[in-house]
Structure 1
């Protein structure tokens, strides 16, 4: 896309709610009121089977981060219907999500169950805990969690299946061959002008053997 085209798009950008609603329409009262400030038993059962989730955070200036999380068996805890607890596992130590939470507690979480089209979304306020007993409850493969993320729920609701259906996310016939997707090694080499021989072999990164 050339610079002239970008300038044209800037001139036609949407800047008001009225302009937005003229394009996407006005939500019905049922949609506006579909969230609750608590989880229900069935919603908790869904989340307990959602072994993959995405945690969205932002810092005090509004700079955003979105981090994928997962375990083969979900370890999300529910002390009560207005609170959930997420485990933290070993990573690269940047801890972007947690640095953000220390500045701005507001988080959004997207829970997915493999093979299920609908999604559960939770928005709330998070804090971090290193309580040994709690970390032990969140253990996986015999190893306690590094941290616990305690979320006080502000909104919990279902998200319809349209995005999953459009992407055919769970349909193996639509999946590409992994070898056709650029590897982490190749992307890093291009991004930082590095030599391939200075990096780990493609798709054999050391972290794959050090999940816990």
Structure 2
């Protein structure tokens, strides 16, 4: 019996890759910028959610979701943005990566929009700064922030969101019907020693009450 790897036809060079995916058009190739412009700032002010990609010095990767009221990713100047840290699972996977490899990527999303804003840069962890006072939410001042010095920034088209119908509410019940609820997933793989009733309570009102606590 053959293994999956034996059935793969692998691409091992840029030349092979370009045989399948031709060079981008100039409008796509040249849209990267090194500084924020007015429309980028407006986007960040409207966005309540972003994904932050990091990797450690050995190349082990992580992508972490970050969410807060719109505008939580602060443009400090045309070359710098900052992302506040909020209470979470305390794994700090991405932050540990940044300590050994500062290169990060941000994908900023606005609900209902298919296009996105992409920022790539070099990050550092900051434990206090004057702008922390502008990041207070429900009385919670962040204990640290990720400060990113921008290398490239550009807007990305909507094809992935259109193909996935991500913002089409009529598809949500159908695509998620076969996937257990978060409490049931926790019972199955994360916290099997706890009862389902305990987990449903934990991920219910109690969970929402701890967002900034």
TM-score > 0.5, shorter chain as reference: yes
- Please give the residue correspondences for 1:91-130 in structure 2 after superposition, counting only pairs within 5 Å: 91-130=88-127
CA distance in 2 between partners of 1:171 and 1:192 (Å): 30
- Please tell me whether the aligned partners of residues 183 and 196 of structure 2 are also in contact (alpha carbons under 8 angstroms): no
Bigger drift between 161-170 and 177-186 goes to: 177-186
Which residue, out of 44, 69, 81, partners 1:47?
44
Match of 1:184 in 2: 182
Q: Which residue of 2 aligns with 1:61?
A: 58
Which residue number corresponds to residue 194 of structure 1? Answer: 192
TM-score in terms of structure 2 length:
0.89
What TM-score results when the alignment is normalised by the length of structure 1?
Answer: 0.89
Instruction: Specify the alignment match of 1:207 in structure 2.
Output: 207
| Cα deviation, residue 125, structure 1 | 0.3
Please report the RMSD computed on the Cα atoms of aligned residues, expressed in angstroms: 2.1
Counterparts of 1:69 and 1:38 in 2: how far apart (Å)? 22
Deviation at 1:9, TM superposition (A): 3.5
Shift of 1:187: 2.6
Residue 25 of structure 2, aligned match among 20, 24, 28: 28
Count of aligned positions: 209
* Unaligned ranges ≥5, structure 1: none
Q: Aligned in 2, Cα 1:194/1:201: closer, same or farther, shift over 3 Å?
A: closer
- 2:44 aligned counterpart, secondary structure: helix
Structure 1, 151-160 or 183-192: larger mean CA deviation: 183-192
Give matches, 1:149-164, under 5 Å.
149-164=146-161
Structure 2 residues without counterparts, runs of 5 or longer: none
- On the 8 A contact 1:83/1:153 being kept in 2, the answer is yes
Contact kept? 2:126, 2:146, Cα under 8 Å: yes
Correspondent of 1:9 among 7, 10, 32: 7
* Farther-moved stretch of structure 1 (63-72 vs 131-140): 131-140
